[in-house]
Homo-oligomer: A and B are copies of this chain.
Amino acid sequence: MTQDVKEIFALPGGPQAGRAGAPPAPAALAAKVRTLAPSMTRSMQRVAEAVAGDPAGCAALTVTGLAELTGTSEATVVRTARLLGYPGYRDLRLALAGLAAQQQSGRAPAITTDIAVDDPIADVVAKLAYDEQQTLADTAAGLDTVQLGAAVAAAAVARRIDVYGVGASGLVAQDLTQKLLRIGLIAQAHSDPHLAVTNAVQLRAGDVAIAITHSGSTGDVIEPLRVAFEHGATTVAITGRPDGAVAQYADHVLTTSTARESELRPAAMSSRTSQLLVVDCLFVGVAQKTYETAAPALAASYEALAHRHRR
């Protein structure tokens, strides 16, 4: 373990050269190379150059590989690593990998452009993921927690909960319903406008009606909400247009975010993501408030499903 450091101390730069930065440089490698270049010998410069020029590529090479690439020897590579402040090549290589990763991730946020017809599939994945993350952040930032709290409070003690949504929003309505049912509440999703209205008539004070519509102007969803509203139920609207028609009949409005859309990226995609986050928040809020009954109910439904899984 006791290393013989004789040689390094005999280098032209003097005793100081090797340890300019006591902690081996993290990312300032290119700078270090430039700084130390004058005190390097020709072969070492070649190595340093290669390393600074293509960190990722060099990280993939062994000492021998890098030595061959630069037309030098293993010993020179190791000496260069030492000069740059690392105990040996192994550690330089590790730092190189880190640097490469940073450069890689730093390049990432360049994806502000829209999805094009000829984008490679990997770009599609990156862009969609990025956009949906953005949508989530926007939604969380724009969500009115007071309104949400009120909606949660009403839902937690409701006799029954009706959820209206058609098209893509219909799936969100079903998602919410499924989860509420799982914690023992009485919830029902309606995507048939006629049945929705027919059912809305049954609602009364203490019940909760939730309408989900991105546009805020979907008649099929507004109508049952209006009926529920007029029958005294607590009404909630989850919409991207808080000033839309649906808001007239809503006691509480939860706003979803609206992202730019395009031909290949229909609005339904980001509105759905946004709606689901709101619905999740609503659900978790209710689950908190009804924890006494919710916890065992969740456990029970989990149990019930276990046997449907194959070994």
* B-binding residues in A (CB < 8 A): 26-27, 59, 93-95, 97-102, 104-106, 115, 117-119, 121-122, 124-126, 128-129, 132-133, 136-137, 139-140, 143, 145, 148-149, 152, 167-168, 171, 174-175, 178-179, 182, 215, 217-220, 222, 245, 263-266, 268-269, 272-273, 276-277, 280-281, 284-285, 287-288, 291, 295, 298, 305, 308-311
Instruction: Choose one: B94, B119, B218, B305; the contact of A309 (CB below 8 Å).
Output: B218
Residue of A179, A217, A269, A305 contacting most chain B CB atoms (<10 Å): A269
B174 and A178: CB pair below 8 A?
Answer: no
With A and B bound together, what is the CA distance between A298 and B152 in angstroms?
36
With A and B bound together, what is the CA distance between A295 and B175 in angstroms?
29
With A and B bound together, what is the CA distance between A310 and B245 in angstroms?
8
Report copies per complex: 2
Q: Which residues of B contact A140 (CB under 8 A)?
A: 125-126, 128-129
A137 and B148: CB pair below 8 A?
Answer: no
A125 and B281: CB pair below 8 A?
Answer: yes
Q: Which residues of B contact A145 (CB under 8 A)?
A: 121-122, 125
With A and B bound together, what is the CA distance between A94 and B94 in angstroms?
6
A121 and B133: CB pair below 8 A?
Answer: no
B287 and A264: CB pair below 8 A?
Answer: yes
A152 and B121: CB pair below 8 A?
Answer: yes
A128 and B277: CB pair below 8 A?
Answer: yes
Whole-angstrom distance from the CB of A244 to the nearest CB of chain B?
Answer: 8
What is the chain B residue whose CB lies nearest that of A152? B121
With A and B bound together, what is the CA distance between A189 and B234 in angstroms?
34
Whole-angstrom distance from the CB of A98 to the nearest CB of chain B?
Answer: 3
With A and B bound together, what is the CA distance between A139 and B128 in angstroms?
11
Q: Which residues of B contact A122 (CB under 8 A)?
A: 145
With A and B bound together, what is the CA distance between A140 and B128 in angstroms?
9
Instruction: Choose one: B121, B171, B265; the contact of A149 (CB below 8 Å).
Output: B121
Instruction: Choose one: B99, B168, B264; the contact of A101 (CB below 8 Å).
Output: B99
Instruction: Choose one: B102, B136, B218, B291; the contact of A117 (CB below 8 Å).
Output: B291
B272 and A276: CB pair below 8 A?
Answer: yes
- A175-B171, A277-B128 in contact; A27/B101 too (CB < 8 A)? yes
Q: Which residues of B contact A178 (CB under 8 A)?
A: 167-168, 171
Instruction: Choose one: B220, B284, B309; the contact of A115 (CB below 8 Å).
Output: B284
With A and B bound together, what is the CA distance between A209 and B79 in angstroms?
54
B94 and A277: CB pair below 8 A?
Answer: no
A–B pairs, 30, beta carbons within 8 Å: A93-B94, A94-B97, A97-B98, A97-B101, A98-B100, A101-B102, A102-B102, A121-B145, A121-B149, A122-B145, A124-B281, A124-B285, A124-B288, A125-B140, A125-B148, A129-B137, A129-B277, A136-B136, A168-B178, A171-B171, A215-B309, A217-B309, A217-B310, A219-B308, A219-B309, A219-B310, A222-B310, A245-B310, A264-B288, A265-B284
